[in-house]
Structure 1
Amino acid sequence: MRGRDEESGEYLGPSRSAQRREALDVLELAKQLVELDPGRLAKLPLGEHLLPFIAQARRIGSHIARKRETAFLAKQLRREDEEALDELRDALDAGGEAARLDTALLHRAEGWRERLLGEDGAPALSALLDEFPGADSQRLRQLVRNALAERKAGKPPRAFRELYREIRALLDAVPPSDETGEGA
């Protein structure tokens, strides 16, 4: 008998049903990847060799051909190790650890921005520069001034958004293990 241990009679490896379930899970993952917008796709921990397969599946308009190309993408994904697939699933999961960390980082950056634009702007800027010594202090001061002027004049929030991007870049440069929740 094929797939059985001669001595104990137990089956070796996963059953055919288990293999099929795993293959269907990977197919669902492939469908999610094809449907993602390019900005979110760029943030995922994907191998560079998989991107052309995803792009090809997106280009196809015919339903059946797209389904076939998605199945081919799933075949390529099954060649990846299980850890990489779990990491990818976690990054896609809205309630996953990666999403929670990203949301926490977003809130932390918004907190810093509000502190900088609040009444205690100067001490908040000093605290930000103390926490991130490599930050461009002149650029941050200029963005804070411009954002406050925009807010006062009722102009579109260009500097307000740019200030957020600068703070977010500072937070992204720090590894997650070094971050503390004390900043915001």
Structure 2
Amino acid sequence: MTDSEQERPSKTALKREMEALQKLGSKLVGLSSADLARIPIEDPDLREAIATARRIKSREGLRRQMQYIGKLMRLIDASAIEAALHEQEQGQKALARRFHELEDLRDQLLEKGPASTDEALKRFPNADRQRLRQLLMQANREKTANKPPAAARKLFRYLRELQQIANEEENSRGV
């Protein structure tokens, strides 16, 4: 065996790398147009291949197009694309986490009633105490009357507004 043969990766390693690039290409094809626009794809051929794959309806045609995308991805440095996709996924996970935290806060407020407005005010100091108390009392009345939870939904929307305001203030301070 020569030195050049020992330095080359095995066929299995090459195949794994090809499949990983094909999966990356598949993720790109599955993105929304807005998300795809934020991914730094420098190669115009790759950009066109992704656009073509999004239009293909035939299963076999899509499979061949995905192989072509994988081939194109081998010719470029895909690390920037991987990093951008990872960043987008982390952003979506953070949004989901904040959403669940707001749901938990709403549930906690509904469980404890109007006396628990201080918890929300600690988290959102610019919140309107009176509006919070009114929404909580209204939700409590709806619950005892077995009515749909309209006030609970309004409370969640109000908490989400407060979260957005807090995020905007945080971003303006950071810039």
TM range (shorter): 0.5 to 0.7
- CA distance in structure 2 between the aligned counterparts of 1:64 and 1:165, rounded to whole angstroms: 44
Identity of aligned residues (%): 21
User: What residue is the counterpart of 1:107 in the other structure?
Assistant: 100
Q: TM-score scaled to structure 2, two decimals?
A: 0.56
User: What residue is the counterpart of 2:25 in the other structure?
Assistant: 30
2:82 to 47, 60, 85: 85
Q: Encode CA deviations 1:134-172: one digit per residue, 9 max, x unaligned.
A: x5x34x864774465356343454414423533553676
Structure 1 or 2, whichever has the larger Rg, is 2
Q: Encode CA deviations 1:65-103: one digit per residue, 9 max, x unaligned.
A: 2223323443455434436426736976xxxx7787555
1:152 to 141, 144, 155: 141
Decide whether aligned partners of structure 1 residues 129 and 165 sit closer, same or farther in structure 2, where only a CA change above 3 A counts.
closer
Secondary structure, in 3 states, of the residue corresponding to 1:61?
A: coil
Alignment gaps of 5+ in structure 2? none
Secondary structure, in 3 states, of the residue corresponding to 1:47?
A: coil
Residues 40 and 81 of structure 2 are in contact (CA less than 8 Å); yes or no, is this contact kept in structure 1? no
Structure with higher helix content? 2
Query: Does residue 128 of the first structure (1) align with residue 123 of the second (2)?
Result: yes
Residues 56 and 62 of structure 2 are in contact (CA less than 8 Å); yes or no, is this contact kept in structure 1? yes
Residues 150 and 156 of structure 1 are in contact (CA less than 8 Å); yes or no, is this contact kept in structure 2? yes
Decide whether aligned partners of structure 1 residues 156 and 111 sit closer, same or farther in structure 2, where only a CA change above 3 A counts.
closer
Decide whether aligned partners of structure 1 residues 47 and 87 sit closer, same or farther in structure 2, where only a CA change above 3 A counts.
closer
Figure out how many residues of one structure are paired with residues of the other and give that number. 157
What is the root-mean-square deviation of aligned Cα atoms in Å? 4.6
- CA distance in structure 2 between the aligned counterparts of 1:81 and 1:18, rounded to whole angstroms: 17
Q: TM-score scaled to structure 1, two decimals?
A: 0.54
- CA distance in structure 1 between the aligned counterparts of 2:68 and 2:137, rounded to whole angstroms: 53
User: What residue is the counterpart of 2:70 in the other structure?
Assistant: 74
Letter in 2 for 1:152: R
Decide whether aligned partners of structure 1 residues 129 and 167 sit closer, same or farther in structure 2, where only a CA change above 3 A counts.
closer
Query: Does residue 62 of the first structure (1) align with residue 51 of the second (2)?
Result: no
Secondary structure, in 3 states, of the residue corresponding to 1:163?
A: helix
Residues 102 and 156 of structure 2 are in contact (CA less than 8 Å); yes or no, is this contact kept in structure 1? no
Secondary structure, in 3 states, of the residue corresponding to 1:169?
A: helix
Decide whether aligned partners of structure 1 residues 55 and 150 sit closer, same or farther in structure 2, where only a CA change above 3 A counts.
farther
Decide whether aligned partners of structure 1 residues 170 and 54 sit closer, same or farther in structure 2, where only a CA change above 3 A counts.
farther
User: What residue is the counterpart of 2:39 in the other structure?
Assistant: 47
2:14 to 15, 19, 23: 19
